[in-house]
Amino acid sequence: MEEDFYASIKLKTGEEIFARVLPQDEEHKIILIVTNPIMVTHMSGRNGSMGYKIEPWMKTTTEDMFVIKMDDIITICETNDIEMIMLHQSFVQKVGDMKNNRPNISRKMGYLANVNDAKDLLEKIFKNS
């Protein structure tokens, strides 16, 4: 099969994603393995500035590879657009950094209390001020 490439994909659901794509032949049907798919929205600011908003395609998972059947795709367009590729690579790097640098949550990070204890403490602080 072919090597991987960057592509914009329009799904039957109406979603447009940008990802690194690897086509595979599975039981005589082509499927796409997409890596770190993102949704890109063109934004313009009040002062006339232009930019992009980048979001992960799947927001409720930490997985970075997905399988898409060709039946679910309207069109796919390979791209060599350096700006889009750089945006994608920057997103992938930031997500990787966030996964590696997550702090372990502990009780030392802050005071934990139930509602009644917090209410009593706040009332005591209020009365003493």
| pLDDT at residue 111, as a whole number | 61
| pLDDT at residue 101, as a whole number | 65
Angle 121-126-129 from CA coordinates, rounded to 5°: 125
Cα(105)–Cα(78) distance, rounded to whole angstroms?
A: 42
| pLDDT at residue 117, as a whole number | 81
Q: Which range marks the domain in which residue 25 is found?
A: 5-128
Domain count, the chain: 1
| pLDDT at residue 126, as a whole number | 87
What's this model's pTM, rounded to 2 decimal places?
Answer: 0.69
Q: Could you read off the pLDDT tens digit of each residue along the chain, which spans 129 residues? A: 568 999 999 999 999 999 999 999 988 898 999 999 999 888 888 888 888 888 999 988 888 899 999 999 999 999 999 989 998 998 888 887 766 666 566 666 666 667 888 888 888 888 887
> How does strand 73-78 pair with strand 5-11?
antiparallel
- CATH number of the domain residue 87 falls in: 2.30.30.100
Radius of gyration of the chain, Cα coordinates, nearest whole angstrom: 23
Separation in Å, CA 114 to CA 47, 86, 104, 108, 110: 46, 46, 22, 16, 13
Cα(93)–Cα(111) distance, rounded to whole angstroms?
A: 33
Helix, strand or coil, per DSSP, at residue 119: helix
Beta bridge partners of 56: 38
